[in-house]
């Protein structure tokens, strides 16, 4: 049997981490050096990463070029769009699988996907 895979955190800044300083002192003006060095990090990434950020950014940038009013995309906006694409993609996949099972087949066909899209969009 093979051993389970372990993942190590990489070095450098993580674009999916927000850091803020923690202030737990009683007096807001007096902080000890340890309190200033304490950082609370909050991960802002989905539980599962399916789509690369660069691909999601390209979709947004296509629309940004047409609008000519927006210049940047925040990391949180990429996360929200990623989550939506994943949620809707899974709905679509479940519906396509239902059509495949009803057809007593083991392979999802393009027609199954098209029917699932028609059900969910229209």
Q: What is the pLDDT of residue 30?
A: 60
pLDDT band at 33 (very low <50, low <70, confident <90, very high): low
The residue-averaged pLDDT of 32-38 equals 52
% pLDDT > 70, the chain: 61
Taking CA 94 as the corner, what is the angle to CA 90 and CA 95, rounded to the nearest 5 degrees? Answer: 120
77 Cβ partners below 8 Å, 6+ apart? 60
**What would the CATH number be for the domain defined by 33-121?**
1.10.20.10
Structural domain boundaries of the chain? 33-121
Q: For Cα atoms 6, 12, 18, give the angle at the middle one, nearest 5 degrees.
A: 90
pLDDT tens figures, 42-60: 555 556 788 999 999 999 9
CB distance 86 to 48 below 8 Å: yes
């Amino acid at each position: 049997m093979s051993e389970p895979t372990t993942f190590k955190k990489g070095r450098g800044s993580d674009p999916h981490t927000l850091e803020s300083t923690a202030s737990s002192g009683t007096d807001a003006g007096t902080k000890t050096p340890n309190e200033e060095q304490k950082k609370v990090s909050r991960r802002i990434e989905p539980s599962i990463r399916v789509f690369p950020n660069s691909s999601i950014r390209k979709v947004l940038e296509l629309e940004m070029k047409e609008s000519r009013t927006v210049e940047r995309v925040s990391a949180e906006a990429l996360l929200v769009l990623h989550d939506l694409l994943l949620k809707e993609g899974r709905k679509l996949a479940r519906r396509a699988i239902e059509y495949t099972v009803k057809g007593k087949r083991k392979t999802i066909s393009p027609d199954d996907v098209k029917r699932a899209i028609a059900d969910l969009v229209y």
